[in-house]
Amino acid sequence: MPALNETHDLNLTSWVASANDAQSDFPIQNLPFAVFRRQGSDEAFRGGVAIGDQIVDLAAAKDVGVFSGLAQTAAEACAAPTLNEFMGMGSEAWSALRLALSQALRSGSDAEAKLSACLVAQADAEYDLPCTIGDYTDFYTSVFHATAVGSLFRPDNPLLPNYKWVPIGYHGRSSSIDVSGQTFHRPKGQTKAPDATEPSFGPCKRLDYELEMGIYIGKGTELGDVIALDDADDHIFGMCLFNDWSARDIQAWEYQPLGPFLAKNFASTVSPWIVTTEALAPYRTAWSRDENDPQPLPYLESEQNRNEGAFDIQLEVLLESEKMRAEGQAPAKLSESSFVHSYWTVAQMVAHHTVNGCNMKPGDFFGSGTQSGPQHDEAGSLLELTRGGKEPLTLENGETRTFLEDGDAVIMRGFCAKDGAARIGFGEVVGTVLPAKA
């Protein structure tokens, strides 16, 4: 498990002035990774690190003599169009580059003159997926979400008996994952109204978002290998924000007996920045299981996971309608939640996913499942907030929503903050719904 070190020092400041803003998502204590290029250019995409409102261009920085040893080797890997090679190098390389960047970006650093020429303003950048995502597994780790959705789909049996024993997941569609700014057409498919004798085909009428965390695998494993619970952090590169769009009416008709299919594979959106597990170390916290619930089987149980398995990440969802954009209105906040409520930890997801010998590759991706809190207004989807579409939401400008309409943009944000540690953030993930294709 990543330990606190000098990179987490609350008193560190940077010669990049914008990083010293107390409300910045990207202070020197964060240093998340992305893949970018200058907007509208034909430059190659390459790795970068956020500092304040700037990006350290690692393809340029590797040539100015700021790094050495393992940090230099890691920086060279980050000059590629994807971060897969760097992610596969493991935690020693990740930490070496992060430390070197922290030292070079600190106030008073001798590297300022060299590194300042390697900065690109985030306002001038466009992003790609940070890595090639070979496989994507979506988990279902919020017991509050699982219970609320189960009560809508299965009123007599909302929470299936395996939920509290097994970190439930399904194999998703990696090819339809895209980076923030994604636009997609409203999906079509089969739906069946409760009073209909047969299904019909057409555009989804109950389009929804899902507020999730995304988890990137770094160092991989061979087929047949198992990642023990307390070794999971050696394989988890970092986390991002994740919107796993859902077509609820298609889902209701197709999900039994094999689970999600067309209701989930038409689009999913990730935030561009990956916040490393090392940067998140100050925000690890105790994880617990209600004493009245089944306790985890031995391969999912450890003192370390109990003490520091959870991450205290605050999350929020906002909606910007076409009308709001046209009239210059601010997006409307729909809900707030926290990843700390997750019923299963990230380490438990990794341990369970590999316990049968399933191999992992650098860049493999997990969705946490919708992160809903215990209160109704902490729900991570419209399905929950509108109680299955029966209670429309009234937005601040007077518009109402049961589910998403064409032109709606959903914005998700996340951050960590507590006394004694620097506030760090994830930026945001934005996606916009287009009308169904003719």
Q: Amino acid letter at 152?
A: L
Residues near 207 by beta carbon (within 8 Å), at least 6 away in sequence: 186, 187, 245, 246, 247, 248, 403, 404, 433
State whether residue 355 is helix, strand or coil.
coil
- One of 8, 145, 235, 341 is an active-site residue; which one? 145
| Residue indicated by tokens 């003719």 | 438
For 241-278, give the DSSP string.
Answer: EEE--EEHHHHHHH-TTT--STTTSS-EEE-S-BEETT
- 171 tagged catalytic: no
Residues near 419 by beta carbon (within 8 Å), at least 6 away in sequence: none
* Six-digit token string for 157: 């049996």
Q: What are the residues facing 183 on neighbouring strands?
A: 432
Residues near 334 by beta carbon (within 8 Å), at least 6 away in sequence: 317, 318, 319, 382, 385, 393
Q: What are the residues facing 434 on neighbouring strands?
A: 185
Catalytic residue ranges:
145
